[in-house]
Structure formats: structure tokens, C-alpha cells
Amino acid sequence: MIPSLSSLADRWARVPHPTCQAEVRLRQPWALFLGGAALLWYALERSPAAAVIFTLVGGMVITAYCWARILAARLSGQRRLRYRAFQVGDTLEEEITLCNSSPLPAPWVEFSDRSDLPGYQISEVRAVSGGQTLRWSASTECRQRGVFRLGPWELHSGDPFGLFHVRQVTPDPLEIVVYPPLAHLPPDLLRPRSAPGSQRPLRQPLSAETTQASTTRDYAPGDSLRRVHWPTTARRQKWSVKEFDPEAAARVWLIVDSQASAQRETGGRSSLEDLIITAASLSSHLLRSGLAVGILAAGNAPLPPRTGPHSLWPVLRGLAALSPGPTPLGSALEQFQPLLLPQDLCVVLTSSLDPAWSRPLRLVAHPQAVLWAADPCPPEAQSARLRLTAQGIPTEILLSTQIRVIPAAYGALRRWEFRATGTGRVVVAARPREVQP
């Protein structure tokens, strides 16, 4: 099969490159037409002028193509983040390197970026001599939480005559996560939870109905007969009930109301962003206390409960990617019912004062609610709190001014720093902040 002209052109355009996709394309077709016209003129008349024009045009086209092809194969770019693990308010800074390993100069090189980080677009045009390496920095403030990508990005260049266009594409983007910040919250935001026959602060393991009993205690009014330990009762001639192992602790679900129409803004602050910061801060506190924490939000993938401080990063990543949706909180609570166990503690974080979602919340075994409100607190929020409390749902009001963001909550940003030992060995003195596994 005879290959088509387009396939032949693509084959000639592709240039092997170890780190990217490189190609050379004709930018000025008039040069080929001029050379063809001069060749036809010389074939018809054998004119010296036609021979000179054909030689000049042909030599220029061949020289330009070879120049562009060498640049496509020997020109390379690299970008490297100076820091990792960003929170809202941090400065993203990266170093960009442009290297020309060929002996030919690149009259112009354009760095074109297609990153989706809000407010961050790199567009630089530099001239690079043969064998030269250029480095420069680009930075921006991370103003919005989320999961973003740096790249893909391209390098554009060409020959000095402007006949051919060199294009290098690095298709693999680098994913970055801008985490929501942590904040200081009111210490009594979550009330202690009452369990049958015992009462433990929330920071302690919560009791649950299992067969893992570690000890017994005296019967107290309100204890279930299912928890009576009959052998001990018969031996002591006194009612005794079982105390369960802390390992049977209940999980804590933080349910974030992500309904778009229920969100409010005041003083430039969004209720959804405040609720996400609250969820991140509560998760950090509960995980450090040894509890398992999960995140639920309508329209977003559920984050199953995890334990241990190292589990904070998956939780924060899920909160960073959380997006608003149309599902009302009441419908979301009904959807989440199959995920909730009888011993789970469910904390709803919402700015909605609609009484409709309290009914499905009452079906949860151990519900609590945190109502977001602007400062000063509106009377409607106080009325909603009283209504929920009367229905047996412990409720607290969280004012926007009570959310005090902690600067650099995940650690101070640092650059790579090196030092030389007495023996001349170079060791790392400081590393950029990284996400823990």
C-alpha cells in the first residue's frame, strides 16, 4: 500500500526525544512553492538566475529543516516543585530549567503551560545559546483548595529563518493537592456521647455492643438487660453489667452538607469552605485521639473510617476534592443509612436551617449536629438549635469568626538545603515538606 502524503509528512515530522513528544512542522509553505517554481523555471529555460534562486531557496529550506530538527532532538525542559503538601494560603514555587545541548542557538523558545491551578499560568519566551542552560522560578499563592494538575506543558521553537516550527509536548501532568487549612475550634463543639450504662468523653474510645467484654461493673439505672453479666451477678449476689473493650470503639462519621443552594457567604467567607475546614480540624483532633474517622458528602465518594494520625492525609485529600452538588441534606442522609452502624457517632456539619433533614437524622443511633452561622448569630439559627435539641439531637452553633485558621498547620515550608561535612561530604540539611504516606 502506498502511504498517503499526510502519513509521510507525519513520519518526517516526528523526532525521537527521550523525555517528550517532539515534532518539526513546516511553517512557511511559500518556501517550497518558490523552490518548485525556480526548479520549473530552470528546467524550461536553463536560466542562471533560476539556478541561483533554486540553489538559495533549496539551501535555505534544507538548512532550516536540519537546524529545527537538531533543536527538536537536543532542546529539553524540566520543571521541579520546590515544596510539596500545600494548604490554602501557601505559596507554590517551582523551578523551570531550559537546556539546549546542541551547538546551535535557539533564537526563541516559548514555554507554554496548560495547568489548571487557578491563577497560575506560565508563559515565558527565552533565547538559548548553544550548550546553554537557563533556570528561572515561577510562583503563585494557592487561594483555592482542590486537586489540580501542573501540565501538560509544551516548548515551542524554530529555526532562524522562521520556516519550521519545533513543538515538544510533555503530556504527563504532575498532580498537586491544595489541602484545606486546619483551624482552632471551640473546645466544646462536640458534646460527650452517652452510651447505655456508661458515659465517656468523646476523646476516649466509645463503647459498643460486642462480645469483647474486658471487665464488669455495678448495674446503673438505664443499663440494658442484654449487658448483664449473669455469672458475676450470681457470684456477687449483686447486679453487674459488662464493660466492653476499647477496641470495639464506635466510628465517627463527619457528614458535610454539600448542597450548593444551601451554602451562604458573608464577609467574603463561604459556608462550604468553613464547613470543610471544620471537618478537617475535627478529623485531625479525633484521629489523634485514637478514633476512626470517615467523611460523607452527597455527590462525592465516601471516605471509609480510618484510624491513626497517618490517616489524616487521605481525609484531607478527600475534603480538598469535595465539590458542591444539588442533593439536599435530608436525601443525602437517607442515602448514607446503609453505611452507618448502630454504634457509630454521626456529626452533621451544615449551614441549612431547613427542618426537613432532622427527621432522617433522628433515625441515626447517635446523631449530633453543628450549625454554621455568621457572626452575629441570626435568631433563625438559635431557633433551629432549640428545635433539634428538643428532638434529642445535640446541636451546637459554630460562628464563622470562631474558625481561626492555623498558618502552616502542616509544617513550615522549606527549601532543599545542603551542608558539607568536615570530610567534604555533602548531606541534606533540610527537605521540602512532603505528604506523609
How do residues 175-233 score in pLDDT, each as one tens digit?
889 999 999 999 888 865 443 333 344 434 444 444 455 577 888 777 777 788 888 88
Residue 416 has pLDDT above 70, yes or no: no
Ordered structural domains, the chain, with CATH: 1-181 (2.60.40.10), 183-193+248-405 (3.40.50.410), 211-244 (no CATH)
- What sign has the CA pseudo-torsion 367, 404, 265, 145? negative
With residues binned 3-state (H G I as helix, E B as strand, rest as coil), the percentages for the chain, rounded to 5, are 30, 35, 35
In the DSSP assignment, the letter for residue 29 is: T
28: which residues sit within 8 A by CB, 6+ positions away?
A: 162, 163
The 10 Å Cβ neighbour count of residue 404 is 11
Whole-number pLDDT of residue 272: 94
Residue 357 has pLDDT above 90, yes or no: yes
SS3 sequence, 244-268?
ECHHHCCCEEEEECCEHHHCCEECC
Q: Which three cell numbers stand for residue 398?
A: 459554630
Only one residue has cell 487561594, namely 143
Report percent pLDDT > 90 for the chain. Answer: 45
Rounded average pLDDT over 332-339: 92
Whole-number pLDDT of residue 133: 95
- Name the band, by pLDDT with cuts 50, 70 and 90, for residue 426: low
18: which residues sit within 8 A by CB, 6+ positions away?
A: none
Q: Residue 290 and residue 284: Cα distance in Å, rounded?
A: 10
Whole-number pLDDT of residue 90: 83
Whole-number pLDDT of residue 127: 93
Alpha-carbon distances, residue 341 vs 198, 252, 337, 391, 407 (angstroms): 19, 10, 8, 21, 36
Residue 435 has pLDDT above 70, yes or no: no
Residues 119 and 146: beta-carbon distance below 8 Å = no
Instruction: Give φ, ψ of 184 to 5 degrees.
Output: -80, 130
Which of 48-62, 89-103, 413-427 is the least confident region? 413-427
For 109-139, how does the pLDDT look when each residue is reduced to its tens digit (9 = 90+)? 999 998 999 888 888 899 999 999 999 988 8
For 7-59, how does the pLDDT look when each residue is reduced to its tens digit (9 = 90+)? 656 777 888 998 899 999 999 888 888 888 888 888 888 888 888 888 898 89
DSSP, collapsed to helix, strand or coil, labels residue 86 as strand
Residue 103 has pLDDT above 90, yes or no: yes
Query: Element (H or E) spanning 9, and its range?
Result: helix 5-13
Q: Residue 238 and residue 218: Cα distance in Å, rounded?
A: 8
Report percent pLDDT > 70 for the chain. Answer: 84
Query: Element (H or E) spanning 242, and its range?
Result: strand 240-244
Neighbouring-strand partners of residue 345: 252, 366
Mean predicted lDDT score pLDDT of the chain: 84
Whole-number pLDDT of residue 141: 86
Which of 24-28, 239-243, 390-394 is the least confident region? 239-243
**One-letter amino acid of 72:** A
Burial class (CB in 10 A: 0-12, 13-18, 19+), 218: exposed
